[in-house]
Amino acid sequence: MATLLPPDISTQGPAIDHLLLVLHLFMGTIFLGWGGYFLYCLFRFRAKSQGPVERSVKPFSLPKYLELVIFGFELFLLVFLAGPLWAKIRQDFPSEKTAIVIHLIAEQYAWNVQYPGPDGLFGPISPAKITPLNPLGLDRDALGAGDDLVSVNEMHIPVHRPVVVYLSSKDVIHSFFLPVMRVKQDIIPGIGARVWFEATQTGSYEIACAQLCGNGHFRMRGRFIVDTEADFSAWLKSKEPKRNVE
């Protein structure tokens, strides 16, 4: 199963991959069972050239019991596997005092990534201030906005540090998808969402949109880069807003 999935570099990945394995084994068993029964019916009740057609109805309760077994197993998956895993991920949400906090604003067809800068404050954004050079509409004159860092289609995080990402959309429904982190979250306009994850190794990967968001959906790809602490600090330094020196 692991070879069929993208690489796993998330602390949450093993538990999610285990759940996916159980689900696929369950679906494969159902497919083989019903497929075999379908082939049996094709052979057993095929048309014959001789003999009268038997029209009597005979009770056959096996499918009913099989459906009850399937229902019971699905309930087991939901209550004892998927539910507790989702609850643990939510319960383990890291403190924003120690985590890297990022705002990600999706639009057709780009990922706008905002970092708070050294002061730890996110500056306000306004649609009235959106320009080609300011895709977020960041008000640089407002409190806390002067040192904010903005990147388009490129998200950097440090390895072995929890990351909290606040998600929002400027236009239509998008879906933030990091395959290597086993993270996928729909972004609905007007409704904020947040996710968290922690990477276990460095590398360059892909940010994908898992929701058809328009004719240019294929272009909505970004780079997800996991750096060492030193490389992450150097990247932040390189993205600091340039100030005019008189």
Q: State pLDDT tens for residues 205-232.
A: 999 999 999 999 999 999 999 999 999 9
Distance from C-alpha of 170 to C-alpha of 136, rounded to nearest angstrom: 9
The residue with greater pLDDT, 45 or 25, is 25
- Mean pLDDT over 238-243 rounds to 72
pTM exceeds 0.85 for this model: no
The DSSP string of 127-192 is GGG-BTTBTT-B-TTSTTTTT-EEEESEEEEETTS-EEEEEEESSS-EEEEEGGGTEEEEEBTTB-
| Region of residue 160 (phi > 0: left; psi between -120 and 50: alpha; otherwise: beta) | left
Beta-ladder partners of 193: 167
Q: What is the pLDDT of residues 138-182, one digit of tens each?
A: 888 887 778 889 999 999 999 999 999 999 999 999 999 999 999
> Could you give the percent of the chain with pLDDT greater than 70?
93
